[in-house]
Amino acid sequence: MKPKSKELLLILFLALSVSILISIKVFIYDGCYAFDSNDDANHTFVNLKAAQDIMKNGSVPEINLYNNFGTPLLGDALTFPFSIQSITYWFLPNYLAMTINRAIIAFLTMIFLFLFLRSFLSPISSFVSTIIVFFAPGAFWNFAHHHYQMTLLCFSWILFIQTRLLRSARNDDNRHHETMQRHSERTYVIPSKARDLLLLWLGYFIFILSVSLQLVVFSLPFLILYLPIMDGLKKNKALTLNLTALILAIVATWPHISLFFHNIADSTRANWSPYSSVFTTLRDQILSLLFPPTEWIHYGINGHFTVATYFSIAFIIFAIVGAISLISRNRKLLLLIILLGFLPAIAGFLLQFRYGQYLPFFRSVDSSRVWWFSNIFLALAVGSLIDSKWKSDFSIIPKAIICFLTITIIIFYFAIPFKIFEIIDLALIHKLIILFTSISLILVLLSRKQYTVGKLLIITTILLAQIPTLIHVMGLNMGSCSKWNHYFSYKEAATFQPLHLLQEMEPHYRLASEEYTVEGHDLKAIFADVLGSDARAIISSQLLQNILLDNKLIKIDANYFFTQPWQSDKVSELGIRYLLVKEKSKDLASKKWNLIAEDKDNERGYFLYENPLKPTIAHIDQDGNRHFIKELQLIPNGIDLELPDISKEGNLIVSLSFSKSYRVYVDEKETPASMNYLGMMQIPIKPGNKNVHITFNRTSWFKLFSYIFISIVLLISSLYFFTSRIFGYK
């Protein structure tokens, strides 16, 4: 078999095996699907449904009126209705769409990661390094989520195209001197440039529309610096093309980007993050890099930090030694690994655990996510070690450093029972990883030539080090599809459960559930066109939270939920007709709320109460008297109301969180709205007014497509400019 065919087979095997592996429970447990029952089921599925319903009516998906008194859809940090991975949701049920997305995206990610790494490494080193990057715990944990799963695919795609550009630019230079006038050369080079610029633009365009912008921001230093590090700043044609593609992609997606920052600025997450203060001592912070925290920390920690900081001793040590091996071989690659691998990795660590809390932007983000990108360059170092000629690549000082590292690891290993109490009962796999790492280093130091055994030992150690990640992230020890882990779930978790309670509620009325928002009932009520009230969104309004908190209506969790003591008056004013609680409530019963349904079969029990006033989401307030409006219709991004006859002036209160982005028309005449004391929309009305039309309006299809159009026009102009002027072909 030809080497190319062998390599193709290797790539396909790798991509397919990973696709199958990450769907492992789908194959093992009946009815199990690969979707996250937390963020995705509660947020993405819900908001994508809202977005699709709006788009089916031909409108831009601007706001989901069904959640948290109105949650913006465009620029939301989790929904991304125009992302490439949201396409499957148009054709398949959400749980199946996510399952298929994961498998396809994993497959493509492995291919593009491999192709990029292959530019520097041998096939086998690329194979191992690709596995390291994909199964790095932080990235792999978040691969479960809609808004993160395209990250590595887009990133490696862009890097791969940049590398192609770099090579073709270098070839150009050579050819330019030799055969500038030859027509045959021109016809080959120009289309190649055009195609690569287009592919780069497309890569950035999809990246921005499909991946959380926080990660896009983290990735930009890597994507901008890669080419200048490889080829310098002077006459770097590839860099020019790359920056052009990036800027034009930003132009094309500008409405999306600006709305994201607009939303996040007002959100509850602007100055707070659930990721701070996880590991408080330096010992814990360093241990968390070497062993999965969930295996040694003495209390339960939540979320991805159970494992996300785990690099493994093997990865860290082999990356360092790999970098050292490049000192005498390839200084440019070494520089790349240091600047885009080690430095950002260390910066991410310091920002996350030491200094981020003092800095405004970093306080509210998880800075360890920079590792998703730096890992690629650290994996290049590991691959370089496997490809190196070992002893001959190391002079006396590097040897001394490796020797020091080896002795340190051995001392560390033997110190565990005496000094490192956290890991006294360390699992066998970690002991093996430490031992194999130190033996590998000894082999690196002593072998006179490339030892097959030594290389295999390094590869085996690296592969072993992935196992804890696989087990913890996918919950492979749980003996169940979804227990204690939300990487996989049964399809029922994608919708409101128990379903019969949902059927008791009338559409277009409002529910509030007294439960941690992670449970998601409040949000998933949208599947029966029932409006929820609790907040579970990155971009839920800080102002509304403060108002509701001041009125003692809510309890804070990751976001917030409505809770007792129930203030019937305020709850009615907010248009809440139904309350879902977990215990029978004497308080509600005393206030004449009716228990209309319950579900005791459920582990904890759910009780659905109905407000005796049966409030709708809009009412007229006249001197403190409320008249609920029955004649209302939810329309895409807004609401239409028919007003009853009124005898004097009053205020129309619509239980949607006040925003200046709402346009209000009373009898087709634009009327200014204000915010009432509960943060809701308040519109002055007079006797004789017949109807009110409210619509949330921040953008339009015209605006969205104009930016794309402008970007494409500039792109075509750039293609002409670059091919004819910069590269000297006419």
Partner 1 sequence: MESSNRIILITVISWLLIIASLFLHTSGIIKIPFFNLKQSKGAIVVVEENYKGFNLVAIKEEVYAIPHGIPLSNPRRMKRQGTFEAHSKEEAKRMIDANKEDIEPRLYLVENNFRGFNIYRLGNRYYIVRAMHKEHAVPLPTKYPYHERYAGSNIENARGFVTKLKESEF
Q: Contact, 610 vs 596, CB < 8 A?
A: yes
CB of 535 vs partner 1, minimal distance in Å: 24
Nearest-angstrom CA–CA distance, 243 and 245? 5
Q: What angle do CA 268, 274, 280 make, to 5 degrees?
A: 140
385-400 b/e with 16+ CB inside 10 Å = b? bbbbebbebbeeebee
- Reduce the DSSP state of residue 633 to 3 states and report it: strand
549 binds partner 1 (CB under 8 A): no
- What Å distances lie between residue 236 and 172, 276, 498, CA to CA? 12, 40, 61
CB of 107 vs partner 1, minimal distance in Å: 15
Nearest-angstrom CA–CA distance, 76 and 537? 8
Largest interatomic CA distance in the chain? 99
Give the amino acid at 109: T
Identify which of residues 10 and 199 has a Cβ nearer to partner 1 in the complex.
10
| Nearest one of 39, 78, 35, 79 to 55, comparing CA atoms | 79
Identify which of residues 455 and 510 has a Cβ nearer to partner 1 in the complex.
455
Identify which of residues 73 and 459 has a Cβ nearer to partner 1 in the complex.
459
Identify which of residues 123 and 221 has a Cβ nearer to partner 1 in the complex.
123
356 binds partner 1 (CB under 8 A): no
Q: How many residues bind partner 1 (CB under 8 A)?
A: 56
Identify which of residues 306 and 695 has a Cβ nearer to partner 1 in the complex.
306
Identify which of residues 258 and 450 has a Cβ nearer to partner 1 in the complex.
450
485-517 b/e with 16+ CB inside 10 Å = b? bbbbbbbebbbbbeeebbeebeebbbbbbbbeb
Using the rule CB under 8 A, give the single segment among 7-15, 200-208, 359-367, 687-695 that binds partner 1. Answer: 7-15
Nearest-angstrom CA–CA distance, 246 and 637? 31
298 binds partner 1 (CB under 8 A): yes
Nearest-angstrom CA–CA distance, 171 and 724? 17
Q: Contact, 211 vs 150, CB < 8 A?
A: yes
CB of 385 vs partner 1, minimal distance in Å: 14
297 binds partner 1 (CB under 8 A): yes
CB of 28 vs partner 1, minimal distance in Å: 5
Q: DSSP letter string over 190-218?
A: HHHHHHHHHHHHHHHHHHHHHS-HHHHHH
Binding pattern for the stretch 255-284 against partner 1, x by CB under 8 A and - elsewhere: -------------------------xx-xx
Among 112, 296, 609, 696, binds partner 1 (CB under 8 A): 296
514 binds partner 1 (CB under 8 A): no
- Reduce the DSSP state of residue 42 to 3 states and report it: helix
| Nearest one of 546, 424, 523 to 554, comparing CA atoms | 546
Identify which of residues 117 and 678 has a Cβ nearer to partner 1 in the complex.
117
21-42 b/e with 16+ CB inside 10 Å = b? ebbbbbeeeeebbbbbbbbbbb
Q: Contact, 369 vs 214, CB < 8 A?
A: yes
CB of 466 vs partner 1, minimal distance in Å: 8
Identify which of residues 261 and 421 has a Cβ nearer to partner 1 in the complex.
421
Among 58, 184, 299, 669, binds partner 1 (CB under 8 A): 299
Binding pattern for the stretch 444-473 against partner 1, x by CB under 8 A and - elsewhere: ------x-x--xx--xx--x--xxx-xxx-
Contact positions with partner 1 (CB under 8 A) in 473-492: 476-477, 479, 484
CB of 422 vs partner 1, minimal distance in Å: 5
Binding pattern for the stretch 10-29 against partner 1, x by CB under 8 A and - elsewhere: x--xx--x--xx--xx-xx-
Using the rule CB under 8 A, give the single segment among 5-13, 59-67, 343-351, 520-528 that binds partner 1. Answer: 5-13
Q: DSSP letter string over 166-195?
A: HHHHHHHHHHHHHHTT-HHHHHHHHHHHHH
294 binds partner 1 (CB under 8 A): yes
| Nearest one of 683, 659, 656 to 672, comparing CA atoms | 683
CB of 399 vs partner 1, minimal distance in Å: 24
- What Å distances lie between residue 526 and 35, 355, 510, 511, 588, CA to CA? 19, 41, 10, 10, 24
Residues 6+ positions from 177 with CB-CB distance below 8 Å:
none
Q: Contact, 100 vs 362, CB < 8 A?
A: no
CB of 434 vs partner 1, minimal distance in Å: 15
Identify which of residues 400 and 456 has a Cβ nearer to partner 1 in the complex.
456
Binding pattern for the stretch 394-433 against partner 1, x by CB under 8 A and - elsewhere: ---------------------------xx-xx-xxx----
Identify which of residues 467 and 710 has a Cβ nearer to partner 1 in the complex.
467
Identify which of residues 479 and 565 has a Cβ nearer to partner 1 in the complex.
479
Binding pattern for the stretch 115-134 against partner 1, x by CB under 8 A and - elsewhere: -------xxx--xx--x---
Identify which of residues 198 and 467 has a Cβ nearer to partner 1 in the complex.
467
| Nearest one of 625, 630, 649 to 641, comparing CA atoms | 630
Identify which of residues 14 and 530 has a Cβ nearer to partner 1 in the complex.
14
Residues that bind partner 1 (CB under 8 A): 6, 10, 13-14, 17, 20-21, 24-25, 27-28, 122-124, 127-128, 131, 280-281, 283-284, 292-301, 306, 421-422, 424-425, 427-429, 450, 452, 455-456, 459-460, 463, 466-468, 470-472, 476-477, 479, 484
